[in-house]
Structure 1
Amino acid sequence: MKSITYGEISFDKVCEKIKEYTGDKAEYVISVGTDSQNVDGYTKMVSVIALVRKRKGGIFFYDIKKIKKIKNLRQKIFKETQFSIELASKVMEFINQNHIKASLEIHVDIGSQGDTKYLIKEIVGWVMGSGFKCCMKPDSYASTGVADKISKKGSKVC
């Protein structure tokens, strides 16, 4: 994974930072989201873990994967959701083992407007069936804000 603050960082170190960051009595939300863009001959998948201290800012970590180009929007959204559920499951395991007081939610890049509105029941059902709160546009900042910006061609964050 990567961080603007910490550079290259392992998932274990990300977990240590989450534990360190949530050590006080403040209220925290951990959001996991993925967005993708087709770039040249592949699909660039960016998954984000955002840790937000309510009313006090936050920090995020991200991972970039290059996978075989996905042209179909439905398949792309399903692949993004799969990546988010897998990452959120690893984070949830860590926060449960370490008794961290933070809510965990998955942010998906779908909404009631546009072409993705037909996927809402399937995607939200899948995320909730996996045991997570699901946030969609306009509330899904981890996927539609942070991951989207990093996934764009020419992003300076990479």
Structure 2
Amino acid sequence: MNEYYTFYNVSEKNMSFHTVIDRLKEFIEKDPRSTYVLSIGSDSHVHQKETKFITAIHLHRVGKGAWGCLKNEMAQRPIMSVREKISMETALSIEIAYYFTSQYLNDLSDLLIPYSDEGADLIFEIHLDIGKKGMTKELIQEMTGRIEAMGIEAKIKPNSYTAFSYANRFTK
């Protein structure tokens, strides 16, 4: 992956994707007997002269906390079309999720395999900022289809917390 992709969170700035993988491994190694949900989600906010997109990587140790990081992207114009914004958010999430397939996802899963009889598991999802209510309901089939074509489970509201909650906090 190109090191152009820099991630950050409240504790650390300018993380490369390889550093993110290391942090995810460190988080799993602290409790390898747990179930984890690794999710990618994006959200956006239209400002006066630009649209800010945030893509989040979120690793939830179910019932026991989480680790996450973010990546900024800017469109140098206000994007007023809901379809265009949601399509961009979906594309940004897919782009980051693509890098988890194969080697990195296997590396994370390998940490849990010795503990699978004790409940250890890793679930991989993309979270979309769309739901069955409001203007985005017409986009559900199209956007989830793009993700499911990659063999990744797509989550929509109210189950898509990485997009509508975590990423959303940082778009303003």
Which TM-score applies when normalising by structure 1?
A: 0.90
How far apart, in 1, do the equivalents of 2:126 and 2:40 lie?
A: 5
Letter in 2 for 1:128: E
Does residue 12 (structure 1) correspond to residue 22 (structure 2)? The answer is no
How far apart, in 1, do the equivalents of 2:34 and 2:140 lie?
A: 32
- Which whole-Å deviations, capped at 9, do the CAs of 1:88-119 have from their partners, x for residues lacking one? 11123411255444211000010000000001
Partner of 2:101: 92
Range with greater deviation from structure 2 (104-113 or 123-132): 123-132
Report the 3-state secondary structure (helix = DSSP H, G, I; strand = E; otherwise coil) of the residue aligned with 1:112. Answer: coil
The answer as to whether partners of 2:57 and 2:69 remain within 8 angstroms in 1 is yes
The answer as to whether partners of 2:24 and 2:67 remain within 8 angstroms in 1 is no
Report the 3-state secondary structure (helix = DSSP H, G, I; strand = E; otherwise coil) of the residue aligned with 2:101. Answer: helix
Shift in Å at residue 9 of structure 1?
A: 1.5
Shift in Å at residue 84 of structure 1?
A: 0.3
Alignment of 1:29-44 (within 5 A): 29-44=37-52
Q: 1:120 aligns with which of 135, 140, 161?
A: 140
Note the residue ranges of structure 2 that are not aligned, 5 or more in a row: 1-6, 113-121
Report the 3-state secondary structure (helix = DSSP H, G, I; strand = E; otherwise coil) of the residue aligned with 1:7. Answer: coil
Letter in 2 for 1:95: L
- Which whole-Å deviations, capped at 9, do the CAs of 1:28-59 have from their partners, x for residues lacking one? 11010000011121110100000110110101
The answer as to whether partners of 1:92 and 1:104 remain within 8 angstroms in 2 is no
Q: 1:78 aligns with which of 70, 87, 111?
A: 87
Does residue 144 (structure 1) correspond to residue 164 (structure 2)? The answer is yes
Which portions of structure 1, spanning 4 or more consecutive aligned residues, are displaced by more than 6 angstroms? none
Which TM-score applies when normalising by structure 2?
A: 0.83
How far apart, in 1, do the equivalents of 2:100 and 2:170 lie?
A: 21
The answer as to whether partners of 1:33 and 1:48 remain within 8 angstroms in 2 is yes
Report the 3-state secondary structure (helix = DSSP H, G, I; strand = E; otherwise coil) of the residue aligned with 1:64. Answer: strand
Partner of 2:154: 134
The answer as to whether partners of 1:32 and 1:87 remain within 8 angstroms in 2 is yes
How far apart, in 2, do the equivalents of 1:103 and 1:61 lie?
A: 18
Partner of 1:155: none
**More strand per residue: 1 or 2?**
1
